[in-house]
Amino acid sequence: MAKRLYIGNLSFNTTEAGLRETFAQVGEVTSVVVMMDKMTGRSRGFAFVEMASDEAAMAAIEKFNGMDLDGRNLTVNEARPMTERPPRRPMGGGFGGGRGGSDRGGYGDRNDR
């Protein structure tokens, strides 16, 4: 059964092809995805590598965790399943325009005069 690995602390120069070649040293690689920033198109510094077997995945963790690749020490461990997250609020929208929700301003209220 395939095992998905999280690869962290990647150099921005590390490519999917480079990761595939590196991880193929310990077993069959079924997929590689380097996570990219939508705004800049640059690597976000982490990736997911799927190994064909549990044995290959364990060998990859043992061999590559802490190893230098493209000038960075890799973090390699078993990927955790993605958890359900609440929807993100739009910036400045919704709850008071980002000002804390109150439009009362000033010091004290009108009865203090």
Domain boundaries, the chain: 3-78
Nearest to 8 by CA among 55, 58, 69, 57: 69
pLDDT digits 0-9 by tens, 31-86: 999 999 999 999 999 999 999 999 999 999 999 999 999 999 999 999 988 788 78
Give residue 99's pLDDT band: very low, low, confident or very high (50, 70, 90): low
Task: State if pTM tops 0.75.
Answer: no
Name the superfamily (CATH) of residues 3-78: RRM (RNA recognition motif) domain (3.30.70.330)
How many C-beta neighbours within 10 Å does residue 47 have?
Answer: 22
Report the SS3 class of residue 23.
Answer: helix
